Chains A and B, each alone.
Chain A
């Protein structure tokens, strides 16, 4: 993979669409009202997106459903869930989970 024009266009495109949702509300909100239904919809988007990403990430291995002790990521997710839920700490959750995966790979 080289730094070609396609790659530059890709990251500029990603940056642009990300910037839109960061910049528009803060800049325009005082001037325009967002429809209530859309606000409600947006309210659920973060939880929905994160879960849509998390589930395949921990429940599937190489595109196949893998629910059981042969899946270290699922074990790590289940064991770190109480910490994540209680502390909401990304740093601690990631480190503990990585530690569990390291131990799993070492012993099993």
Chain B
């Protein structure tokens, strides 16, 4: 593909991601304002972290006064899934300049991964495609969270507007993408129930980490046969 063609193709493909990021980023910003974060603080987090669910959790934990180490560990575990995305994209990244891989891989998210792996399976793609798609999605995310935090201070009752559901709704949709077979549904059920169990016996947001490690380990065991 010609450079300009590849750019336009990426812009066309990024559209659904943008439509998804705007309301979720906005909702995150509103929640961040509620937790006492400034638009600059929110913007910095989005610039450096760029991971929706991890940022929702971090904002929630910051709001309840959690210290930095549990937040960073939780972020690491929540974002471990990118390991798989990155590994799956690796064969396609062999077609692009090797020195650009560490930069391009910064922009891998659930959504950019889903779109770009689908496209990469169809046709050879250069760094033009990846940069156009990834940086457009990234800019939308950063801006929507900053705008949300700015306007969030003006919106008094976010509960009435349904923003409380933005986070669970996002997890629900992403979880459904993980249901490749019955085993994954079973592991999800186990993890969800363990999570609620651990909330009641251990304070400090460790429920997610413990439930995940145990449930994924069970997954490995039942996968062996």
- Among A17, A52, A100, max chain B CB count under 10 A is at A52
- Cβ-defined contact, A76 with B169, below 8 A: yes
| B204 sits at the interface (CB 8 A) | no
| B191 sits at the interface (CB 8 A) | yes
- Cβ-defined contact, A94 with B175, below 8 A: no
Give the contact-size bracket for chain B.
35 or more
Query: Which residues of chain A come closer than 8 Å to B75, judged between CB atoms?
Result: 13-14, 17-18
Contact with B along A61-94 (1 / 0, CB 8 A): 0010100000011001100110011001111011
Q: What separation, in Å, do the CA atoms of A11 and B81 have in the docked complex?
A: 19
Binds A, one of B3-11, B44-52, B120-128, B138-146: B44-52
- Cβ-defined contact, B162 with A24, below 8 A: no
- Cβ-defined contact, B165 with A73, below 8 A: yes
A interface, over-half SS: helix
Nearest-neighbor residue (CB-CB) of A20 within chain B: B76
With A14-B58, A55-B193 given, is the CB distance from A27 to B41 under 8 Å? no
Query: Which residues of chain B come closer than 8 Å to A90, judged between CB atoms?
Result: 20, 24, 111, 169-170, 173-174
Can you list 25 A-B pairs with a CB-CB distance of less than 8 A?
A13-B72, A14-B45, A18-B50, A22-B83, A22-B106, A30-B94, A41-B216, A42-B80, A43-B219, A45-B81, A46-B174, A51-B189, A53-B57, A53-B167, A53-B208, A54-B172, A59-B196, A60-B199, A72-B164, A80-B169, A84-B173, A93-B172, A97-B162, A98-B161, A102-B161
Interfacial residues, chain B to chain A (CB-CB below 8 A): 16, 19-20, 23-24, 27, 36-38, 40-41, 44-45, 48-51, 53-54, 57-58, 62, 68, 71-72, 75-87, 89-90, 93-94, 101-102, 104-108, 111, 159-179, 184, 187-196, 199, 207-208, 211-212, 215-217, 219-220, 223
